[in-house]
Amino acid sequence: MGKLLRRVRRTPERLLHPLRRRNAIEALRARPRPQTILVVCHGNICRSPFAAALLVRELAHDMTVQSAGFAGFNRPAPPAAIAAAQRHGLDLGDHRSRLVTADLVRSADLIVVMEAAQQRSICERFGRRPADVLILGDLDPAAVDTRTIYDPVNDGVEVFEQVYDRIARCVRELVAILTPAGVPTS
């Protein structure tokens, strides 16, 4: 019964995803190409450092990519995050978390978050427009049940790998849009 209720609750998200995806792509194409991207998640130890590392690897080197979080400072990525990132050819071993600051938010041309609540928080706390804050999951080319990219902080490597696979799909879409001849997958 619980599984059925979760599925029913997520039906609106599943139905809205294609529209949100199209709107996100159109909004990104309509804006100037960002020179500075800030990737934000809750603690800056799992999702945002991985997404930022992927963006650094895949984007032109004339762009600056940083990551930050709302909680914790100078914390390392968990061992499961480091192991899952290595599968994607990324090393999070030296990563240390940092907090979102007004200066970081102000200097970013584009802010990428993992959840709608994080988008609202950036807008409310730092005065950014919603159009400046992308929910990364909205770019997912797969049919998904939620726009939120799950926080695997207390999970094992298998869950991190699933989450990182989703982040990688979304980052590929973002890179395709931001790259001059970029065309995201349909």
Q: What is the pLDDT of residues 33-61, one digit of tens each?
A: 999 999 999 999 999 999 999 999 999 78
The predicted model gives 69-82 an average pLDDT of 97
By annotation, the residues acting in catalysis are 41, 47, 151
pLDDT digits over 20-29, tens only? 999 999 999 9
Q: Which pLDDT belongs to residue 11?
A: 76
pLDDT digits over 77-123, tens only? 999 999 999 999 999 999 999 999 999 999 999 999 999 999 999 99
pLDDT of 167 higher than 70: yes
Q: Which pLDDT belongs to residue 184?
A: 62
Phi and psi at 40, nearest 5°, equal: -125, 140
DSSP state of 31: S
CA 83, distance to chain mean position in Å, is 19
Give the number of other CB atoms < 10 A from CB of residue 94. 8
The predicted model gives 149-174 an average pLDDT of 98
Task: State the architecture of 2-178 in CATH terms.
Answer: 3-Layer(aba) Sandwich (3.40)
Q: How far is 104 from 144, CA to CA, in rounded Å?
A: 30
Structure token pair of residue 93: 């071993």
Phi and psi at 39, nearest 5°, equal: -105, 125
Residue spans of the domains in the chain: they are: 2-178
pLDDT of 3 higher than 60: yes
Q: Which pLDDT belongs to residue 7?
A: 55
Phi and psi at 99, nearest 5°, equal: -90, 150
Q: Where are the beta strands (DSSP E) in 48-128?
A: 64-69, 110-113
Query: Who's near 163: CB < 8 A, 6+ residues apart?
Result: 46, 47, 84, 149, 150, 151, 152
Q: What is the pTM of this model?
A: 0.92
pLDDT of 186 higher than 60: no
Report helix, strand or coil for 51.
helix
Of the CA atoms within 13 Å of residue 58, those in its CB half-sphere come to 22
Is residue 131 a contact partner of residue 27, using CB atoms and an 8 Å limit?
yes
